[in-house]
Amino acid sequence: MGPYTVLAAETGEVLDPFIVGVIVFILAAFIGFEVITKVPPTLHTPLMSGSNAISGITIVGALIATGVENDTLASVLAFLAVVAATINVVGGFLVTDRMLEMFRKPRRDVEAGR
């Protein structure tokens, strides 16, 4: 039984994991639209780099793919996938943090209004 296998209690019917995935995808897309339309234009660049880092979640697939045995080609592909995904994740979150750190409140020397 896969992680998405949903049992309908009364009938014992099993929903196809693929269909469950489609349901999850559609609902997540709606959440994405709702949440992201509330991000102000000021933060659109960090939004892009941050969401870009999130798309690096494909690293999970890359890590799993390294477990393949006895296939050199698959192992090479998996290695390259881990490298590319890690660049995406580490670089993306770091650069987003660097940018967000710069968005700060008015400085005191100005507020003092000499």
Partner 1 sequence: MSPEIRALLYVLAAAAFIIGLKRLSGPRTARSGNLAAATGMLLAVVVTLVDFEVSWAVVGAGIAVGAAIGAALAIRVQMTAMPQLVAAFNGFGGLASALVAGSEFVRAGGIDLPGETITTIVLSVAIGALTFTGSFIAFAKLQGLMTGSPITYGGQQIVNGLIAAALIGFGIWTAIGQDALPFWIGGAIALVFGVLVVIPIGGADMPVVIALLNSFSGLAAAATGFVISNSALIIGGALVGASGLILTKLMCDAMNRPITNVLFGAFGAADGGGGASSAAGGDVRTTSPDDLAIALAYADQVMVVPGYGLAVAQAQHALRELMSALERRGVKVAYGIHPVAGRMPGHMNVLLAEADVPYEQLLDLDDANSLLPRTDVVLVIGANDVVNPSARDDPSSVIAGMPILEVDHARTCVVIKRSLSPGFAGIDNPLFYKDRTRMLFADAKKAVTDLEAALSEV
* Shortest Cβ 10–partner 1 spacing (Å): 21
Touching partner 1, residues 68-97 (CB under 8 A)? 68, 71, 73-75, 77-97
Contact by Cβ (8 Å): 16, 28: no
* Shortest Cβ 87–partner 1 spacing (Å): 4
**CB-wise, 12 or 67, nearer to partner 1?**
67
Residue showing tokens 């979640």: 57
User: Does residue 7 touch partner 1 according to CB under 8 A?
Assistant: no
**CB-wise, 9 or 35, nearer to partner 1?**
35
**CB-wise, 13 or 28, nearer to partner 1?**
28
Contact by Cβ (8 Å): 39, 47: yes
Helix 44-55 vs helix 92-102: crossing angle, to nearest 10: 160
Q: What is the DSSP string of 90-111?
A: IIHHHHHHHHHHH--PPPHHHH
* Shortest Cβ 110–partner 1 spacing (Å): 5
Residues contacting partner 1: total by CB under 8 A: 88
Phi-psi region of 19 (alpha: psi -120 to 50; beta: other; left: phi over 0): alpha
Helix or strand run (H / E) with residue 49? helix 44-55
Touching partner 1, residues 10-39 (CB under 8 A)? 17-18, 21, 24-26, 28-29, 31-33, 35-39
